[in-house]
Amino acid sequence: MKTYKVKDLLNSTKPIDDVIVKGWVRTFRNNQFIALNDGSILHNIQCVVDFENTPAETLKRITTGAAVAVKGNLAESQGAGQKYEVKVTELQILGDSDAEKFPMQPKKHSLEFLRENAHLRVRTNVFGAVMRVRSVLSFAIHQYFQERGFVYVNTPIITGSDAEGAGEMFRVTALPAQNPPLTEDGKVDYKQDFFGKETNLTVSGQLEGETFAMALGQIYTFGPTFRAENSNTSRHLAEFWMVEPEVAFNDLDANMDLAEDFIQYVIKYAVERCADDLKFLDQRLFDEEKSKPQAERSELGLLEKLNFVLENNFKRVSYTEAIDILKNSKPNKNKKFSYIIDEWGADLQSEHERYLVEKHFKCPVILFDYPAKIKAFYMRLNDDKKTVRAMDILFPGIGEIVGGSEREERLDVLQEKIAELGIDEKELWWYLDTRRFGTATHAGFGLGFERLVLFVTGMTNIRDVIPFPRTPQNAEF
Ligand code: 4AD
Ligand code: MG
């Protein structure tokens, strides 16, 4: 007897005798019909129990959440709603589940409640679908870069550098929390720590990635990154996954082309391979939005929105143009923005980004040439000496999904910038070496993986697209 996945049974084109299928009971009706799910597909297979010839003891143990193994025959179903069902000849309870205590009851639970039960929420339709889509998207990312000859680089998780210079790092230490060794002037003596220096969890693999691009030509990283920013929003995680391609000899225009092509590819890949799950998530979003006032509902459904991104070019707009648009916008004039834009140089808040994308352009936008003052040290200075070759990609409903730039490849300009910001040049000696030996134009970007998954699944809180979210005050599981 062969063991099948529910997916194979549901997609079968003919009846099959003698199948084994294992999974978890979603519901059990009329002492007869088990809806069995094994995670291979959104849908359940109906297993029909011969209740007259099954001991009452066994029937009682077929409860929501229980793990069971079923032997039987795949046959055409007489009932409406499914083409095939399994006529059970033998049923074994693998693991009981107390129906009263099992938190995932066969009813609608709030996303908040499900977050508190993140270890079990993946047994629901919504989270099963989201996590399958997440998996397919991460495969698509590798596929895209591998097909194009990019080398996958595993940059370090523990590092001594603050790539973004934003100081939002989690310290890594092996020193005792109580009475750590101190220096003469009373500070913690990290010379005595595990690495002999201060270290932290990486906020980005970019700087190490650049050194690899300057040898292997085109590389990408895809790994976890950590930020101790205290932003308790639906777009921020303390631990998130980032994809960072870096390409030697690319300038900012080539960088934008790559980012746009890459994003469209991975979305298309998911649309093609996750049709079932996305159709379900499309309906979920529609149902959720029904309860909202008209003005807050999205104009497009999930699948319409994904197709829109595939069929339309991203709009490329300079920061300066964007500031003009924002200055003259209604919410700015009516003081509806929390941060009023009154001059060039202002950092854009997510309300501004969303206005540009959702109200003004109504399509994904690539903003470029930002003021040097609001961007990281490594971005290439433009001839105007005021702006840098930075780019952010803004998505409807998400805001910033990508941040990237052409890098400052001129050693003297980079050293000047580092000095200006008070960064210790000694910390970056190895980074500066790439500018000392065979420097060249190069560019890259970082895509926040969870923000991509948010967009593709139509979920609205980033905590719902990563298995076990880490956010301020929360590291359960
Ligand atoms: O814009 P960021 O900070 O750029 C970098 O880290 C560059 N080193 C990337 C590069 O050029 N190689 O972060 C890149 C992306 C953001 O656009 C956003 O999508 C995501 O990472 N991101 C977060 N996602 C979830 N939670 C957070 N706290 C995030 N911070 C950034
Ligand atoms: Mg950014």
Closest alpha carbon to 403 in 163, 112, 98: 163
DSSP state of 4: E
**Per-residue pLDDT, 224:** 98
Instruction: Please say whether the beta carbons of 370 and 345 come within 8 A.
Output: no
Measured distance CA(328)–CA(208) in Å, rounded: 41
202 lines ligand 1 (CB under 6 A): no
Which CATH homologous superfamily contains domain 3-102? Answer: Nucleic acid-binding proteins (2.40.50.140)
- 121-159 pLDDT, tens digit each: 999 999 999 999 999 999 999 999 999 999 999 999 999
Q: Where does the pLDDT of residue 325 fall: very low under 50, low under 70, confident under 90, or very high at 90 and above?
A: very high
Distance 401 CA to ligand 2 centre (A): 8
353 lines ligand 1 (CB under 6 A): no
227 lines ligand 1 (CB under 6 A): yes
Q: For residue 474, is pLDDT > 90? A: yes
Mean pLDDT of 70-74: 98
**Per-residue pLDDT, 161:** 84
Closest alpha carbon to 213 in 159, 148, 150, 141: 150
Instruction: Please check whether the domain covering 123-168+203-464 is classified as CATH 3.30.930.10.
Output: yes
Q: Where in the chain is the domain with CATH 3.30.930.10?
A: 123-168+203-464
Count the Cβ atoms, other than its own, within 10 Å of residue 124: 18
236 lines ligand 1 (CB under 6 A): yes
Q: For residue 231, is pLDDT > 90? A: no
Number of H helices, E strands in the chain: 15, 17
70 lines ligand 1 (CB under 6 A): no
403 lines ligand 1 (CB under 6 A): yes
Q: For residue 167, is pLDDT > 80? A: no
208 lines ligand 1 (CB under 6 A): no
Mean pLDDT of 155-184: 92
Q: For residue 220, is pLDDT > 90? A: yes
Mean pLDDT of 450-455: 98
**Per-residue pLDDT, 149:** 98
Distance 454 CA to ligand 2 centre (A): 17
Q: Where does the pLDDT of residue 29 fall: very low under 50, low under 70, confident under 90, or very high at 90 and above?
A: very high
Packing angle between helix 275-290 and helix 449-457, nearest 10 degrees?
A: 70
> Which residues, at least 6 apart from 5, have a Cβ–Cβ distance to it below 8 Å?
21, 38, 40, 41
Distance 446 CA to ligand 1 centre (A): 6
Mean pLDDT of 86-115: 96
- 395-435 pLDDT, tens digit each: 999 999 999 999 999 999 999 999 999 999 999 999 999 99
Tokens encoding 106: 């066969």
| Token pair 């959440």: residue | 65
Measured distance CA(366)–CA(394) in Å, rounded: 6
Mean pLDDT of 264-279: 98
Distance 182 CA to ligand 1 centre (A): 35
Measured distance CA(458)–CA(306) in Å, rounded: 10
Tokens encoding 363: 């399509």
Q: What is the mean pLDDT of the chain?
A: 96
CA angle 258, 207, 209 (to 5 degrees): 55
Ligand nearest the Cα of residue 452 is 1
Closest alpha carbon to 322 in 355, 300, 281, 295: 355
Burial category of 86 from C-beta neighbours within 10 Å (exposed 0-12, middle 13-18, buried 19 and up)? buried
Tokens encoding 254: 């080539």
**Per-residue pLDDT, 372:** 97
Measured distance CA(281)–CA(118) in Å, rounded: 19
Measured distance CA(427)–CA(417) in Å, rounded: 14
Measured distance CA(91)–CA(58) in Å, rounded: 8
Q: Where in the chain is the domain with CATH 2.40.50.140?
A: 3-102
Q: Which atom of ligand 1 is nearest to the CA of 400?
A: 17
Instruction: Please say whether the beta carbons of 55 and 18 come within 8 A.
Output: no
**Per-residue pLDDT, 182:** 96
Going by alpha carbons, the residue nearest to atom 2 of ligand 1 is: 403
> Which residues, at least 6 apart from 311, have a Cβ–Cβ distance to it below 8 Å?
none
Q: Where does the pLDDT of residue 294 fall: very low under 50, low under 70, confident under 90, or very high at 90 and above?
A: confident
